[in-house]
Amino acid sequence: MTTDIVVDLSLKTAEEVALLATVADAFVQQFLCRNRAGKDAPDMMVRTAFGTDGEVSKTVIFQDRKWADAFVDFWENQKSQSQAA
């Protein structure tokens, strides 16, 4: 039985929503480039929800904790770099 690892992201701006799409693609792409056979690539799913106040929240779901942890680190790094620019 597989347990889903859920990463909830509360996104404050349209820029963060757009950044998440870019970061998710870059995250997967970096592993596919390293391993062309695709045997060690993350399985992930992104779900979108809207709060009653109109706030967008995204849930990123993984099948393996190592990928969830790696994604959170990657997301935080990319978000920090984006804010610094």
- Rounded to whole angstroms, how far apart are CA atoms 79 and 65? 21
Q: What is the pTM of this model?
A: 0.83
Residue 85 has pLDDT above 60, yes or no: yes
Residues, the chain? 85
Helix axes of 14-34 and 65-84: crossing angle, nearest 10 degrees: 130
Question: Which residues share a beta bridge with 48?
Answer: 58
How do residues 22-68 score in pLDDT, each as one tens digit?
A: 999 999 888 777 776 656 778 899 998 887 887 778 999 999 999 99
